[in-house]
Amino acid sequence: MERIRTTHTGSLPRPAPIVAAIAERERGGSPLDPDAVRDAVAGCVRRQVETGLDVVNDGELAKISYVTYVRGRLTGFEPVETPWPRPSPALDGFPEYAERLAGRGGFRDVRIPVCRGDVTYPDTGAVEADITTLQAAATDAGAQEAFLTAASPGVIAMFMRDEHYGDRTAYLTALAEAMKTEYDAVHRAGLVLQVDCPDLAASRAEFPDDAEGLRAFRGLVEENVAALNRALRDVPPDRVRLHMCWGNYEGPHHRDVALRDVLDIVLTARAGTISFEGANPRHGHEWTVFDEVALPDDRVIMPGVIDTTTNFVEHPELVAQRIGNYARLVGPDRILPATDCGLATVAVGEGGVDPRIAWAKLRSLVEGAELASR
C-alpha cells in the first residue's frame, strides 16, 4: 500500500437553508427542493475531496437523522406528538446534567414515529434519488470511492417502538425484509453500503449492571445481528461497512459496554469493515482489544480517531499515534481511520460540533493519516 486511507462515518454539517427546509418538511410542509439538495451534496462532496478524505458520502444532508428518515420510506409508521423518552439510565446518577443535555435539543426536537401497521418498503424513489445525487457529485469531484448510510433493523427497533406486531422478533424480521430493499439498491448502484448499528452497543444501560444484565444484552445484540444478516444476505460483505457506537453525545458513558464484550458477536455480521469509536475518553484505550482478539483475515477495522462530541481539534500527531496503535496490531492495510460517529447526527436542535470546527477536525484526520503513513 502507498498510504493509509481515510473516511468518516456519515453525517456532516448541513447548510442553513437545508436545515430550515428539513424543519419545515418535518412540520408537514413542502418536501425539499431536489435542485437545492443536489447543489448542497455537490458542495459537500467537493469539500470532502478537497479536505483529503478518500471515501466520501452525501453527508446525510437531506435526512432529519440517521434513523428516523426511514419514516418517509417505510409503511406502517405514524408520527406521534409525545416527546423523546427519558434520558438513558446511564444518566440516572446525574439528573442536573441529564436536564441540561435534554435542553440542548437534538433528538428532543424530533418526533419519533411509532409502528402501527405492516412494515414494507413500497417505493425506492427516495433512495434512488440519494444514489443518483451522490454518484453525480462524486464523479464531478473526482472522489475515489463513495458510500451511503442506511439504518439497521436493530436501530430502527431501538428508536421507533412497536405497537403493531407485539413480538420483537416478528418486528425485527419485518424491518429486515423491508430495509433489504434499500441495502440492495445501494449495492446495485456500485456504492459501498454503511449500515448504522448503534443498537449493538448504545442500549447496554437499559439492562442491569451485572453479569446477568450483560448476558441479556448480548442476547439482544445476537438477535439484532441475525436480523441484519438476513437483510444483507444478497450484498457481498466486502461492500458493507458496519458502524457501531455508544451514543454520540457528550456525557459520562460510565455504563457503556466494553468493546471486548460484544466484538465477538459483531464480527459475525456480514460486514467486511467494522466501525467503532476509538477517540473519546471512554473508549480511547480499547485499541488494545486487538492484541487479544484475532481479527478475521477478511475484515478491516474503521476506528474512530476523531472525537465527534467536542470542539477540540485533535493534533495531527495525536491522530497519527492513535492510527499507529491499530496499525501495529492489525496491519496498516487493514485499517480505515475515521471519526467516532457523525459530526451532525440530527439536522435540527442545538449542540454538537460547530460546522467550521467539524471540517477542521476532518483535516486533522487526514494530516494524522499522512503522518502515520510516513
In this predicted structure, what is the pLDDT of residue 87? 63
199: which residues sit within 8 A by CB, 6+ positions away?
Answer: 152, 154, 155, 157, 158, 220, 221, 224
Q: Residue 347: how many CA atoms within 13 Å on its side-chain side?
A: 26
In this predicted structure, what is the pLDDT of residue 342? 97
Q: Could you count the other beta carbons within 10 Å of the beta carbon of residue 336?
A: 20
Q: Cα(14)–Cα(26) distance, rounded to whole angstroms? A: 16
Q: Nearest CA to 194 among 231, 242, 160, 235? A: 242
Name the amino acid, one letter, at 51: T
pLDDT tens for the chain, 374 residues: list them. 689 999 999 999 999 999 999 999 988 899 999 999 999 999 999 999 999 999 999 999 999 999 999 999 999 999 886 555 556 788 888 988 888 877 665 555 567 899 999 999 999 999 999 999 999 999 999 999 999 999 999 999 999 999 999 999 999 999 999 999 999 999 999 999 999 999 999 999 999 999 999 999 999 999 999 999 999 999 999 999 999 999 999 999 999 999 999 999 999 999 999 999 999 999 999 999 999 999 999 999 999 999 999 999 999 999 999 999 999 999 999 999 999 999 999 887 666 799 999 999 999 999 999 999 99
Three-state DSSP class for 186?
helix
In this predicted structure, what is the pLDDT of residue 86? 57
In this predicted structure, what is the pLDDT of residue 95? 87
In this predicted structure, what is the pLDDT of residue 298? 96
In this predicted structure, what is the pLDDT of residue 351? 64
- Is 28 exposed, middle or buried (CB count within 10 Å of its CB: 0-12, 13-18, 19+)? exposed
In this predicted structure, what is the pLDDT of residue 2? 84
In this predicted structure, what is the pLDDT of residue 85? 52
Measured in degrees and rounded to the nearest 5, phi and psi for residue 211 equal: -60, -40
- With 0.75 as the threshold, say if the pTM is over it: yes
